[in-house]
Structure 1
Amino acid sequence: MRRLLPLLALLVLAGCTTPPDPDDRGPAPRWQPRPGLAWQWQLSGRLDPTVDVPVYDIDGFDHSAATVADLHRRGRKVVCYLSTGAWEEFRPDAGRFPKAVLGKGNGWPGERWLDIRRTDLLGPLMAARLDMCRAKGFDAVEPDNMDGYAHPTGFPLTAADQLRYNRLIAGLAHDRGLAVALKNDLDQIPELVDDFDFAVNEQCAQYDECALLVPFVRAGKAVFHVEYELDPEDFCPRSRQLGLSSMRKEYELGAWRRAC
């Protein structure tokens, strides 16, 4: 009888217990980069995957799922760079943007600001771009040109228009399991810090604006920051004090970097 009891118990358990359905486990938790993480930002040139940092930010269109998988094998989280506030004539989906949403140039060759009020037109286009990031296996997205309301775009954009659009982009990213960065747009950080998972900033030290990014750090969210013209010794002490992940880059954002 002693030999039969364990078997009988197993049979009872087998009859009463249903194995968990893999589909019932829910989505994986979204990545949340914490303050102080080192990073690499490379948007031009041949990608150098050997920089020993935990985070890579690369162009979403220019790189394949195989590149993302290789970076994952190297222990990196990978951020998908996209422009969500400006049209770029060199992108494969450029022809899908109606002329009505194209505004003035944003200072970069072949780029024009978008009329972010037209979420009926831009929403599906940006959703498709974020689908691409998800399909390639990216962990997060860096949506660029998210502060058009503060520039001469050719459209009468307001701060409220920008908040609405930025939250739309954040929601689309989150719906796809992607973490999302607030790019620049410093004046709206108090309203948007809860909607975004981390921040990406250019030149806050040069313009004496880095303290405006502290709400992200206080919320336990990384701030990935670059300077182009200042020497690291001029901004790194303050960056460390504020909890920013800072480095010096060249404007073309190739592989070269000097981290704090």
Structure 2
Amino acid sequence: MRHPILLAALLLLLAACTTATVPDKDADEPSGARWQPRPGLAWQWQLSGRIDTSVDVPVYDIDGFDQPEATVTALHREDRKVICYLSTGAWEDWRPDAGKFPKSVLGRGNGWEGERWLDIRRTDVLEPLMAARVDMCREKGFDAVEPDNMDGYRNRTGFPLKAADQLRYNRLIAKLAHDRGLAVGLKNDLDQIPELVDDFDFAVNEQCAQYDECADLLPFIAAGKAVFHVEYELPTGRFCAESRSLKLSSMLKKYELGVWRRAC
């Protein structure tokens, strides 16, 4: 026979636990854990010009070097999550830490002025440099990191990079973010999504509709993880219907990634 006092105490404890674990309807991550963006979240991606903090979306993706802590704080006041854009697979000659990269890790240009692919096999050199960059994101108060140029092995980098090199490096970048309590997104690198979906908290993709590749991103959606997607050349009428059906967070942007956007 159960003791009535013990039974009452257990019922009270159960009620307290249930009340404490009911999630807020607006929350998009578990309490006490790093941010876990869910499919369908609207976003703004602005890497050039003065940041317009008035766009009514829950997620902003902005440049980690160019934007000060004050911008991140201002966005947080409006209940926005903020992603820190960093180039982790390519060197940029205008960054304040550019002189810390030895010439031996600098490869071919990647098609953008002032940028060169990095030899991602040289983690002895790159890990401390990238750790310092992620530290900067954390210190400014960002919620997540968007590491760019994460598919060098599929490009003419000047180095004999293999798929295994890319997997190892991408997982290293994810670990650097997670060790600092930050979420991290997989940028493009579609072919390695099956191997990397568990290591990343969301995906960022450019032009999957133009190249008929959006279905490749579905492992993220199936895992309950957001896919932040942009097109540059297709009108919204050519991709928004598919994006909505796939639960992608899609919009049309211009290549300079300024304020202008046209969301699905």
> Who wins on radius of gyration, i.e. which is larger?
1
Query: 3-state SS of the aligned residue for 1:207?
Result: coil
Deviations 1:98-133 (A, max 9, x none): 100000000000000000000000000000000000
Residue identity opposite 2:156 in structure 1: P
- For structure 2, the residue ranges without an aligned partner over 5 or more in a row are 1-30
Partner residue in 2 for 1:124: 128
- For structure 1, the residue ranges without an aligned partner over 5 or more in a row are 1-26
Query: Moved runs in structure 1, 4+ residues, more than 2 A?
Result: none
Give TM-score scaled by structure 1 length: 0.89
Partner residue in 2 for 1:15: none
Given the alignment of the two structures, is residue 42 of structure 1 paired with residue 37 of structure 2, yes or no?
no
Deviations 1:189-247 (A, max 9, x none): 00000000000000000000000000000000000000000000110000011110000
Given the alignment of the two structures, is residue 88 of structure 1 paired with residue 92 of structure 2, yes or no?
yes
Task: Give the alignment's Cα RMSD to 1 decimal.
Answer: 0.7
Partner residue in 2 for 1:10: none
Residue identity opposite 1:241 in structure 2: S
Given the alignment of the two structures, is residue 255 of structure 1 paired with residue 259 of structure 2, yes or no?
yes
Deviations 1:74-113 (A, max 9, x none): 1100000000000000000000001000000000000000
Partner residue in 1 for 2:202: 198
Residue identity opposite 1:163 in structure 2: L
Partner residue in 2 for 1:152: 156
Partner residue in 1 for 2:142: 138
Q: Hey, what's the Cα distance between the residues in 2 that align with 1:87 and 1:177?
A: 25
Q: Which residues of 2 match residues 97-116 of structure 1 at below 5 A?
A: 97-116=101-120
Q: How many residues align?
A: 234
Deviations 1:142-185 (A, max 9, x none): 00000000000000000000000000000000000000000000
Give TM-score scaled by structure 2 length: 0.88
- Percent identity between matched residues is 81
Residue identity opposite 2:37 in structure 1: P
1:28 Cα deviation after fit: 3.4
Query: 3-state SS of the aligned residue for 1:79?
Result: strand
Q: Hey, what's the Cα distance between the residues in 1 that align with 2:73 and 2:154?
A: 37
